[in-house]
Amino acid sequence: MTGTPTTATTAAPPAVEMRGIEKSFSGTPVLTGVDFTLAPGEVHALAGGNGAGKSTLMKILQGVHRPDGGTIAVGGREVSLTSTAAAETAGIGMVFQEFSLVPTLSVARNVFLNHEPLRRGLIDDAAMVRRAGEILAGMGVDLDPRREVAGLPTGYWQLTEIAKALALDARVLIMDEPTASLTKTESEALFALIRRLKERGVSIVYISHRMEEIYQICDRITVLRDGGVVLSQPLADLTPERIVEAIVGRRMESALAWQERPAAPGPDAPPLLEVRGLCSGAVVQDVSFTLRAGEILGLAGLMGSGRTELARVIFGIDRPEAGEILLRGEPAGITNPRIAIAKGIALVPEDRRRQGLVLEHSVRENLLLPVLGGLTRGGVVDDRRGDGIVTRLVERLRIRLVSPKRPVRLLSGGNQQKVVLGKWLGRDPDVLILDEPTAGVDIGTKTEMIQHIRELADAGKAVIVISSELAELLAVSDRVLVLRGGAVTADLDRREIPDEESLQLAIQGVRT
């Protein structure tokens, strides 16, 4: 037999191969025989509803949890990831959604935290700054490693987190909702960095609820539901509708489709809330608007535009320097949150874990916190009435839990968000201010939250919604107030905004 001899080639082993992963907590199965494979130089999306098992699977890969069954191989070699140190040794790094940086330290100090280069037994600051600079330069990031983290924009915090992982020579990066705190420009810079890392052969697990990001940056997607894999395919072979169906387990109408609400009040309806000439430092500048019962007002703007700061002033967290707030035509006299709550105003804050919940307390205790005064007689809480309120709120918001007596920190992000909303619904407020109410929640929970907001408005509540997701803002609002530099630049009827691009131009101050 003659001819040109052939040379056998061996394909590179997977960067990560997890087979038959099992995990239960307190006898409750969380992962049931999960298979997950990450190829070298691949950006692999991991999606699923809140509570689907994504975080548990990645914590097993990170060495935080030990699996009850199954195997893990990294680079073709089976490993036992019994600790985060073992995962780091295997070349696995984690970029957290909630930053793990020390703000008072420099970028270099954060990058090498707990594994600082030493010289004669002392920390070698010069070597640390030089090596941090080399890592940042390799990432294509122009940043002085001597800068203190506290003085940097949020986007640079995220880049510092990535540099921290790369300093450990990570060949696998787990990114958990990495754009949750980033502006559009910062997100684009992150995507450019991900592409450069991919070219260098770094493999990335990308956890996100944002479908447009997944299609923009990822090669494949694996969807978990109820602890098992229900879909794992190249993104090029899938439509967004097919992915959403896999996540929620059923076909569903788009959560972001807007329909004019027949119950929405007209412009002649009397205002429930009026804000006149409100000023607070440089972040709220002469803001005026009205809000009617049954109306949903969206607040749009870039980060730093004053949206959250305006909400804080209305709720009494910050004191205004000028202007006034009226409720039903009368001065509200709001000087602190206690007065705002008594007047029927509630605020669901942007950071649910730090500002909206007491994480070590139970779901029950969190839901009853704003109404404890009304449940207490002679220093004793009426547990029967309290249990009734909790049961109604859990059923109304469809909060998934094992028991309301378990700590709220054990719930998924979407269910925690429902608890933050639910605790205020127990007081039946007239005005609700919702700051990023669907941040970090899956498409199914987002659909439910948007529906709850519409139902609250239909019941006569006045609702303010702050959101960085323009499609969501357009889906739920009757009017949109655009802020820039702390001032109102546009007050738009939803019917005047044909699409996201038009709202984006309004936010940027571009006239069409």
Rounded CA-CA distance 84/93 in Å is: 9
DSSP string, 434-447: EESTTTT--HHHHH
SS3 423: helix
Bridge partners of 19, per DSSP, are 71
Structure confidence by residue, pLDDT tens digits, 441-492: 777 778 888 888 999 999 999 999 998 888 888 889 999 999 998 999 999 9
Structure confidence by residue, pLDDT tens digits, 101-149: 888 999 999 999 888 888 888 888 999 999 999 988 887 778 899 999 8
* CA angle at 163 for the pair 160 and 167, rounded to the nearest 5°: 140
Q: Which pair of tokens denotes residue 408?
A: 């709220």
Count of helix runs (H) and strand runs (E) in the chain: 17, 24
pLDDT class of 258 with cuts at 50, 70, 90: low
What domains can be seen in the chain, in order of their start residue? 16-248 (3.40.50.300), 271-508 (3.40.50.300)
pLDDT of res. 6:
46
Q: Which of 182-186, 192-196, 308-312 has maximum average pLDDT?
A: 308-312
pLDDT class of 217 with cuts at 50, 70, 90: very high
Amino acid (1-letter code) at residue 151: G
Q: Who wins on pLDDT, 353 or 134? A: 134
Q: Is 200:223 a contact under the CB 8 Å cutoff? A: no
Mean per-residue pLDDT for 38-43? 95
Strands 271-280 and 322-327: antiparallel
* CA angle at 47 for the pair 171 and 138, rounded to the nearest 5°: 25
Rounded CA-CA distance 114/85 in Å is: 11
pLDDT of res. 500:
81
Bridge partners of 229, per DSSP, are 224
Bridge partners of 435, per DSSP, are 466
Backbone angles phi, psi at 125, to 5 degrees: -65, -40
Q: Which pair of tokens denotes residue 55?
A: 């975080």
Statement: residue 215 has pLDDT above 90: yes
| Nearest alpha-carbon partner for 134 in 158, 163, 159, 105 | 163
pLDDT class of 86 with cuts at 50, 70, 90: very high
Q: Assign residue 46 a region: left if phi > 0, alpha if psi is -120 to 50, beta otherwise?
A: beta
Bridge partners of 173, per DSSP, are 93, 204
Statement: residue 496 has pLDDT above 60: yes
Q: Is 75:15 a contact under the CB 8 Å cutoff? A: yes
| Nearest alpha-carbon partner for 375 in 391, 366, 357, 387 | 387
Rounded CA-CA distance 438/434 in Å is: 9
Q: Which pair of tokens denotes residue 492?
A: 């738009």
Statement: residue 290 has pLDDT above 90: yes
pLDDT of res. 1:
42
**Average pLDDT along the chain:** 87
Lowest pLDDT segment from 184-188, 270-274, 493-497: 184-188
Structure confidence by residue, pLDDT tens digits, 357-387: 888 999 999 999 888 888 887 778 788 899 9
Q: Is 163:109 a contact under the CB 8 Å cutoff? A: no
pLDDT of res. 317:
92
pLDDT of res. 83:
92
Q: Is 243:231 a contact under the CB 8 Å cutoff? A: yes
CA 337 to chain centre: 25
Distances (CA, A) of 397 to 135, 403, 444: 46, 15, 13
* CA angle at 12 for the pair 10 and 16, rounded to the nearest 5°: 145
Cα Rg for the chain, rounded, in angstroms? 25
